[in-house]
Amino acid sequence: MDKTVYTRLVNDIATARRLSFSGGAKAKYLDKHLYRCFEFVNFSNPIAIGFNYGRYIICFIILAVYSFESPAQVKNLDFYVNHALANSPVLKENYIKQQQNSLDSAIELTDYLPQVSANAIGWYAPMYGQYGYDQTITNGGEYAALISVSQQISPHREIMLKRMLSTDERSALSADSKVKENEIRREVTDNYLKVCLLQQQLKYYYQSDSFLIRQDTIVKALTEKGLYKISDYIELMVEEKSERTQIGQMVLDLSQAYSELDVICGIKDSVQYKLSIPDIAPIRQTDVTQLAEYQQFHADSISLAEQAKLVDAGYHPKLSWYADAGILASQPNLIYRSIGNSAGLNLSIPIYDGNKKKLKLQNLHLSDETRSDYQSYFITNYTTRNSFIAKQIEDVRQLLIQLREEEQQIRHWIEIDQSELAAGNIPVTDFLMSLKKNLEVKNAINETLIKQQSLQNEFNYWNH
């Protein structure tokens, strides 16, 4: 056996094993039969090489197709979308932010509950003859042990507004989570469809290569009878080799696309599964106010309005009460009879703060104008974008019909060429031309079908 050819076959086995998504015992079982096929290869005759090498390729295709068609290995779009949503750090961060918002709101509201504290102090200010602190001010010292209670009693509107603002912020985070979910669904679906496209293209190349191998036997027999030149047969073998080279390149592309899909979804499993082509139905949303992105604008609008009200409430008069009880004395010898309590009210009325309130409200107004501009832009372009994508979907559907009609015509063409080839009535070049055209149309149909699903995915993103 020629060492170069043997090395090539062994390398092809390695490729076949990478294509075997099942791995393990099943791959080893098929490998054993591939090696058995090699025992019968006769490398002394160029024509025999083509025939026997064809037997190896048939086994190669059986292995690849067997791996692709295993029902247990099929995964669908929902599997990857669910993993991506479950593993997304962005969604987890938003969930944590909602919990933090609830805690921050509860922390702020504790400022309006009764505040209880215990305080103690003992200090002495001695006199040195005529020198020392003024006794009128210091009383010679202070000895106190008090329990104090205080509470604001007039911020009911402020409390209500802060609660509403906290609720609005959680609504904004919830709307943002829905937008992020839609973005994740779109990204995962696009990458999923990319893998589907490569898998289908690889499948068509396998089918084409398998068909070439069957014709290889016919052309070999006709070449031995002198109906075809050896150069015709070699031309067929070169075409087979070219397709197998293309298959090898597509295997690499598929592996990279699959790795990207796993990374996006946070999947650590390196096994490549067959992916079923999804049937994504367009979802048309008639009420723009129900869209996730619009809900985000709406939540931001309410939040800004509540912030403006909260700024205004912060300049209302504030009333609070306080009380304490315990010991308060100026001399140690008076402590035993200095036990008592006190209570009182505090009133604070803002008069002038350097126009800070006005500036705060202007700042919030500018933020609301920015929000309003984005919202108007979104609504204006929503209908236009939907109409454009819907037209693209319809155009792709019409193109798909035309391509399927062309596929039927080419299939009829190949059947005629196949009969003519068996009789030795057409050049091998003409036959290969029909095969290439068939492969081109199959790939075009596959690309158009995936394009249709991709457009419907994009349509649903803007209508979810």
Residue with tokens 């047969």: 233
Which pLDDT score is estimated for 24?
39
Looking at the fold, whether 451 and 397 belong to one and the same domain comes out as yes
Looking at the fold, whether 299 and 281 belong to one and the same domain comes out as yes
Which pLDDT score is estimated for 63?
47
Looking at the fold, whether 325 and 392 belong to one and the same domain comes out as no
Q: What percent of the chain has pLDDT over 90?
A: 27
Looking at the fold, whether 281 and 216 belong to one and the same domain comes out as yes
More confident residue, 384 or 214: 384
Looking at the fold, whether 359 and 334 belong to one and the same domain comes out as no
Lowest mean pLDDT among 56-70, 183-197, 203-217, 323-337: 56-70
CA dist 453 and 447 (Å) reads 10
Task: Tell which of 334, 352, 370 closes a domain.
Answer: 352
Which pLDDT score is estimated for 10?
42
Q: What is the mean pLDDT of residues 341-367?
A: 91
Using alpha carbons only, how large is the chain's radius of gyration in Å? 40
Looking at the fold, whether 133 and 171 belong to one and the same domain comes out as no
Which pLDDT score is estimated for 57?
47
Q: What is the mean pLDDT of residues 285-291?
A: 80
Other Cβ atoms closer than 10 A to 329? 20
Dig out the tokens for 240 from the structure.
């087979």
Would you place residue 321 in the very low, low, confident or very high pLDDT band (cuts 50, 70, 90)? very high
Q: What is the mean pLDDT of residues 343-365?
A: 91
Do 161 and 183 form a contact (C-beta atoms < 8 A)? no
Question: What's the DSSP call for residue 278?
Answer: P
Which pLDDT score is estimated for 83?
93
CA dist 385 and 434 (Å) reads 40
In the chain, the number of structural domains is 3
Predicted TM-score (pTM) above 0.85: no
Looking at the fold, whether 337 and 436 belong to one and the same domain comes out as no
For residue 369, the domain's CATH number is: 1.20.1600.10
Strand order in the sheet with 141-152: 115-124, 141-152, 318-329, 339-348
Looking at the fold, whether 129 and 253 belong to one and the same domain comes out as no
Tell me the per-residue pLDDT of 215-255, one tens digit each, with 9 for 90 and over: 777 777 777 777 767 777 777 788 778 888 888 888 899 98
Task: Tell which of 12, 46, 69 closes a domain.
Answer: 69
Looking at the fold, whether 264 and 174 belong to one and the same domain comes out as yes
CA dist 195 and 200 (Å) reads 9
Do 323 and 341 form a contact (C-beta atoms < 8 A)? yes
Which pLDDT score is estimated for 421?
74
Do 453 and 280 form a contact (C-beta atoms < 8 A)? yes
Looking at the fold, whether 141 and 220 belong to one and the same domain comes out as no
Looking at the fold, whether 165 and 209 belong to one and the same domain comes out as yes
Which pLDDT score is estimated for 377?
92
Looking at the fold, whether 260 and 331 belong to one and the same domain comes out as no
For residue 355, CA distances in Å to 212, 297, 307, 315, 349 come to 85, 29, 17, 12, 15
Q: Which of 307, 243, 294 is nearest to 435 (CA)?
A: 243
Exposure of 296 in the CB half-sphere (CA atoms within 13 A): 17
Would you place residue 109 in the very low, low, confident or very high pLDDT band (cuts 50, 70, 90)? confident
* Residues whose CB is less than 8 angstroms from the CB of residue 87 and which lie 6 or more positions away in sequence, other chains included: 265, 266, 267
* Residues whose CB is less than 8 angstroms from the CB of residue 423 and which lie 6 or more positions away in sequence, other chains included: none
Lowest mean pLDDT among 1-5, 360-364, 389-393: 1-5
CA angle 63–67–70, rounded 5-degree value? 135
Task: Tell which of 352, 372, 406 closes a domain.
Answer: 352
Domain range enclosing 36? 1-69
More confident residue, 320 or 27: 320
For residue 144, the domain's CATH number is: 2.20.200.10
